[in-house]
Amino acid sequence: MKRPHQSLGTVSIIGVGLIGGSLASALKGSGRVDSIVGCGRSAANLDHALDLGLLDHWTHDPEEAASAGDIVVLATPISAVIGLMPLMERALRPSAVLTDASSVKMSVNQAARSSLESKFSRFVPGHPVAGSEKSGASAAKADLFQNHWVILSPLAETDEDAVDLVTDMWVAAGARTRLMEEALHDQVLGMISHLPHVVAYALMSLLDTQAARDDCMTLAAGGFYDISRIVSSDPVMWRDILLHNGPAVRELIAKYRDTLGELDHLIESADGPRLESWFANARELRSAIPELRPPAKLGSE
């Protein structure tokens, strides 16, 4: 059921970093909110968000923030999202909707199911597939979600009107929404996000062992610089992602190791034609990605 373009009410955002701050900025720009309440540990970060006009009020108390919200967004690292679930059960108003921005769904959903009790039907698992290596409210961008996917993974118990409200919020922020079952979400994000970060972190660890490390760092450009950029991301966030999507990521690491072994064999055997074919196939696949991600009208699919 489509909602009319009415006010989203008060949106409480717990975790005013890149994602939470950008969501606040986008919603402010949409004119669709009555007020935005921010919550976090750092008064300096929250004051900065207030100065930037991202928030109307802030608090250090997640229960206070949740009790004020018509929509409550958990935009913290996964371990904090899980730890907040019992507090959400106490604080949420019966009509309020809870959602999250976590890059892993199954472990978060398990925590929600065991903690939210009567409020579980008001929880809409979500994940905006957008971001940056930067963090904090100062990194917030009003257009961060513009025409980017937000994956929603409602469960069998999830109220339809709650899904509609969260969908409406993300569309107001400029995003496109897509429904995806939780296990498939974790598998897909493992491939397109979690494994690439593992590869980048491993590449930097390998660089640290090189005798010519300083020369490598001085001359780093092009491919190396692009691949390693994402290592500047928040270490706490990536620790949590790998801990909570461990089985899927480990399976992908094993397959990636096999793929590197195949490439190593082609190099060892000096098989030029197969190397060229290997690279050509990879280039062809990469060139197809933009064709599968055409600009589309905002909304849900």
- Final residue before a domain boundary, out of 129, 162, 180: 180
* Rounded Cα–Cα distance for residues 280 and 119 (Å): 52
Summarised one tens digit per residue, pLDDT across range 32-90 is: 999 999 999 999 999 999 999 999 999 999 999 999 999 999 999 999 999 999 999 99
Choosing from 150, 180, 210, the residue where a domain stops is 180
Task: Answer yes or no: do 225 and 212 share one domain.
Answer: yes
Q: How does DSSP classify residue 224?
A: H
Cα 108 from Cα 243, distance rounded (Å): 12
* Closest-CA residue to 39 (of 7, 9, 69): 69
pLDDT tens, residue by residue, 189-205:
999 999 999 999 999 99
Structural domain boundaries enclosing 58 = 10-180
Q: Is residue 299 part of a domain?
A: no
| Residues 50, 52, 56, 58, CA torsion sign | negative
Sign, Cα dihedral of 131, 108, 9, 43: negative
Tell me, what CATH number does 65's domain have? 3.40.50.720
79-133 pLDDT per residue, tens = 999 999 999 999 999 999 999 999 999 999 999 999 999 999 999 999 999 877 6
81 and 138 part of one domain: yes
Question: Can you give the CATH number for the domain in which 283 is found?
Answer: 1.10.3660.10
